[in-house]
Amino acid sequence: MARMYVIGDSEAGVLFVKTAPLRLAIVPMEKVLEYANAKPGDYAAIKTALGKVAGAARKMMFLADENPDDPAGSDEVADAVGYFVKTGGSVSEAEFCFIAEVADVDWKSRRFRCPPIDQPLQVISKDDGVDPANGQIPETELRDVIPPS
């Protein structure tokens, strides 16, 4: 069983961490800005993009959870979480942070159901992922349309 952390920060970007084995990916703020088609300081566009990411991350946590009957994982809750972040809501210093125990199977099929975060999910699901000991966290991007594989 692995633990997954998704942390959104309007200054740094979005960090994805999966344990067992440890895998890391980051969507740097410049990629969030590209995805949002925004310039630095465009608070509304950044919040909208982070809201989409938060909703997708919450949905992914639900899809990968071993207790999928949890009503907190419904699409309505994912949409509400996304809207909360988009409209400026925060429950910590980060714009959002989700932690869940996830079953580390079928990542490839699940990530296609969670745009715009399919690319970071792909990076953290690789068995031959980058060793974080070298100090380099793989940078990824956000996208609404997932290219066919």
In a domain, 65, yes or no: yes
Q: Are 124 and 23 a contacting pair, CB within 8 Å?
A: yes
> Per the domain annotation, does 55 fall within a domain?
yes
Residue 14: the pLDDT is 93
Q: What pLDDT is recorded for position 69? A: 59
Q: How many domains does the chain have?
A: 1
Give the tens place of pLDDT for each residue, 53-92: 988 888 888 777 766 655 655 777 778 877 887 887 765 7
Residue 85 within a domain: yes
| 145 belongs to a structural domain | no
Is 118 part of a structural domain of the chain? yes
pLDDT digits (tens, 9 = 90+) for 7-64: 998 889 999 998 888 889 999 999 999 999 988 889 888 888 998 898 888 888 877 7
143 domain residue, yes or no:
no
User: Does residue 142 belong to any structural domain of this protein?
Assistant: no
**Has residue 147 been placed in a domain?**
no
- Cα-flanking dihedrals φ and ψ of residue 32, to 5°? -65, -45
Q: Which domain holds residue 99?
A: 2-134
